[in-house]
Structure 1
Amino acid sequence: MTGSLRGVEAAFTQLAARPPDLWGFSLTGVFTRYLDQGSKQVTWLHGALGSATVLTEAASEVGDTDMELGLLRMAGPRLQAAQFGTLLLATWVDFLHLADAILRNCPMCSVEKLFTDLHRVQGLMEPTLTDLASLDPERVEAATLAMPELMGKLTREFDALHRETRSTMKLGGQIIAATQALEMVAMISTLKMSLPRLPPSGPAALGVGLVMSSGGVMVGSRLVVSAEWVEMMRRLVQAGVISVPAVGAAVLIHGGQVMMAQAHQDLPEGVREALGDGPEVRGMQVTGRAGAGMSDGPKHHVLPKEHREWFERRGFKGDMDIDQFCVRLEQAHHEAIHGGGDWRLGRTWPGEWNRMIMGELRRVEGRIGRVLTRNEVLDIVAARMKVYEIPVMFTKGSSR
């Protein structure tokens, strides 16, 4: 992921540094906003990967296995957002490479039309990028489900712009220039393929820099993902870190099936066989929130909000803020651990969650004679969550 993002970032830098051509055109001036679009997205993508790294390192340091998995699952939405965000940025680079080739090699092409075309494509990407950048698990999941359809639209836009440019250049008698320009695009873009040779029914695969090609699994006539990638996805799905809709969307996109993506499409047979015949694989379909096992129940802060400063002094800040440690519970379960529907009466019960967990943490600190570390707090909380049958499946809750 980091390597792919660096490659995309380098492409933006190279495009911005190119001097104007003989006609004075380049991707600067009025087109600068489209370069800036990529730079802004790179910032949050680096942040998402950094956040996932922090959570992964924290997971490796806790002693409780369930808490370790819980922290890894917290990193999952950030990884999904970074994966599909980087894919969209790689696609945007493809469009900018094509626009750069048009500006430099097609003086008879309309600059105003090109500006409008890029604006339209940017508008298609913007809502999904905004949802991914939020890092909110539900918004990220929804954006993931919409990715195959979006990539289909972007593919059609790219192909139309490509064909229109060829027609314009040929009509202007620039057949040699047209050939050179289009070959240049095929060489420098992440497509790494000669688009004019594709049959009309075969969509271009944009952002193909993320496709794995070594020892891969065949889907139709295309080599889609590597065996290593499939095994990694299988393990992450089993652990609940990556959602099955994300795997399905990624395979549909990498397999060039975005033009025929449907709401409930199974994984391709070749990938399904490689993943193995387990129940988690048989259930791999692109589903909605209900199919992904998500709930609309209330969110419960396992680290009580009224003691925020106490937890902050023990390292719960930033990516490990207490608002990250919420779980969805059924309404009855949520009321039960807080002593019933009236929270004021519930607090009089020694077993009420907030009263119990703070009492336990303070007792341990008094016994050992020092402040607990963040990981020690998490291990204690994990043990009490088992007793109260609270699943270690964290989601972001409301903040201050």
Structure 2
Amino acid sequence: MEFRAVRDAIQEVTDSLDGIVRGLARLEDRDAGIGGHGGVFTRYLEHGSGQVARIRGLLKDAALLEEASEAVTDAELAQGLLRMSGQRIEAALGSAMLLAAWLDFLQLADAVLEQCPFYSVEQLFVDLGRVQERMEPSFTRLQSLEPAQVEAASVAMPGQMGALTREFQSLRERVRASAELGGKVVAAARFLEMITLVSSLKASLPRLPPAAPATVGVGLVMGSGGVMMGSRIVVSAEWVERMRALVQAGVISAPVVSAAVRIQAGQVLMAQGSQDLPKGVREALGEGPEVRGMRETGRAGAGMVDAPRHHVMPREHREWFEKRGFKGAMDIDQFCVRLERSHHEAIHGGGDWRMGRTWPGEWNQAVMKALRDAELRSGSRLTRNEVLAIVARRMKLYDIPMNFVRGSRR
């Protein structure tokens, strides 16, 4: 059930991203509008294309981790790999929301450049730069794959979309005012009428009744009432069941789901709380603690102070692991866990940090000995899944949770 839910979640974001890509391609192929003016606006189109590549990379890694989770036999390890996949789905979902909003601004700029010569090209260039600056920190936090940063960026997303909506309205109003000052009242009216067609969704969705299917959006567009809305992905009972499974399993964070739903349902200004799901969606998902609770992430969320990140596959043997398939999304830097400092010191020194690597039970020595012994017995190089199985058994022996986070190459 969870494997299928993860695959479906990846496909939903992929489908929405494909729609954004088509919109960007239409703009890139134009010689007029944003494609003209001596290529001045090319940097903004390239920014969109660059984000597409990053999001596709996240989705590709999420799919690879989901496949790896299905291939292992240890249930706890499979859940750990699914959570890693979920982190990338969350980052891709949030990034796609921002990118869809960026596409709306590019489409608006394209219409202004082609239809409204009375608005300064230089000013429009500055306007887009300001919007890009507003979005960039969120893209960075989401794509850091730091659980705390991804969650914080997602929780803040409805408010950010509200700010982008106001920016969109303000730009549109400045263009209208510029046209009227130039005596182009009819042209201004036509422009405003045309601009309502820039985005595919032109009216806010009604609030969801408690028993109604939930709706989650990725492609954001301007709706009525000044709310940035999402392209409709109506998922009814299937989506509810998928989100229930993923939230309860800890694969996807409830606050991330909440943020996506609030944006789609037009509740940017009506959110009941910074971390609460809207009432109708909460009732659809269920009232269990998994849905009510916010997954603990980061040092503060987990009650830790500067918790060390422990590489479960020793960094000094990176080349050894790479030869056995640990590259890219499965790089050993992806398999770190946060441990309390005392626990981290204990597994490296048997309770006495001064013993360090001289203790026979020290983690790095013990795990590498287990791996090499297994290869000697089999007479052949271990596969990636066989390595994971051995490491998982050692983690259980040392009471190390399989809540993987990304670590440093240093």
**Common fold, TM-score beyond 0.5?**
yes
Deviation at 1:20, TM superposition (A): 2.4
1:359-374 matched pairs, under 5 angstroms: 359-374=369-384
Aligned residue number for residue 348 of structure 2: 338
Maintained 8 Å contact 2:147/2:298: no
Aligned residue number for residue 131 of structure 1: 141
Specify whether residues 197 and 55 from structure 1 end up closer, same or farther in structure 2 by C-alpha distance, changes over 3 A only.
closer
Maintained 8 Å contact 2:201/2:222: no
Taking the aligned partners of 1:17 and 1:134, their CA distance within structure 2 comes to: 31
Aligned residue number for residue 49 of structure 2: 39
Aligned residue number for residue 150 of structure 1: 160
Q: Helix, strand or coil: the match of 1:74?
A: helix
Aligned: 1:107 with 2:117: yes
Specify whether residues 307 and 241 from structure 1 end up closer, same or farther in structure 2 by C-alpha distance, changes over 3 A only.
same
Q: Helix, strand or coil: the match of 2:316?
A: helix
Q: TM-score, normalised by structure 2?
A: 0.84
Aligned residue number for residue 65 of structure 1: 75
2:127 to 117, 127, 130: 117
1:213 to 226, 234, 238: 234
Maintained 8 Å contact 1:105/1:178: no
Maintained 8 Å contact 1:339/1:346: yes
Aligned residue number for residue 28 of structure 2: 16
1:290-369 matched pairs, under 5 angstroms: 292-293=301-302, 295=304, 296-340=306-350, 343=353, 345-369=355-379
Q: Helix, strand or coil: the match of 1:257?
A: coil
Paired residue type of 2:120: S
Aligned residue number for residue 221 of structure 1: none
Specify whether residues 64 and 28 from structure 1 end up closer, same or farther in structure 2 by C-alpha distance, changes over 3 A only.
farther
Taking the aligned partners of 2:278 and 2:223, their CA distance within structure 1 comes to: 25
Taking the aligned partners of 1:395 and 1:214, their CA distance within structure 2 comes to: 30
Larger mean Cα displacement after TM superposition, 258-267 or 152-161 = 258-267
Paired residue type of 2:321: F
Q: Deviations over 1:18-73 (max 9, x none)?
A: 2327xx99476322222122112111111111111111111111111111111111
Larger mean Cα displacement after TM superposition, 319-328 or 30-39 = 30-39
1:189-208 matched pairs, under 5 angstroms: 189-193=199-203, 198=224, 202-206=225-229, 208=230
Q: Helix, strand or coil: the match of 1:277?
A: coil
Specify whether residues 27 and 213 from structure 1 end up closer, same or farther in structure 2 by C-alpha distance, changes over 3 A only.
farther
Q: Helix, strand or coil: the match of 1:327?
A: strand
Specify whether residues 245 and 289 from structure 1 end up closer, same or farther in structure 2 by C-alpha distance, changes over 3 A only.
farther
Q: Helix, strand or coil: the match of 1:95?
A: helix
Q: Deviations over 1:101-140 (max 9, x none)?
A: 2222223223333222222111111111122233333432
Maintained 8 Å contact 1:159/1:204: no
Specify whether residues 292 and 185 from structure 1 end up closer, same or farther in structure 2 by C-alpha distance, changes over 3 A only.
farther
Maintained 8 Å contact 1:136/1:396: yes
Deviation at 1:326, TM superposition (A): 0.9
Q: TM-score, normalised by structure 1?
A: 0.86
Q: Helix, strand or coil: the match of 1:347?
A: helix
Q: Deviations over 1:248-270 (max 9, x none)?
A: 22122222222455873422110
Specify whether residues 309 and 284 from structure 1 end up closer, same or farther in structure 2 by C-alpha distance, changes over 3 A only.
closer
Q: Percent identity?
A: 57
Q: Which runs of 5+ in 2 are unaligned?
A: 1-12, 205-220
Specify whether residues 292 and 176 from structure 1 end up closer, same or farther in structure 2 by C-alpha distance, changes over 3 A only.
farther
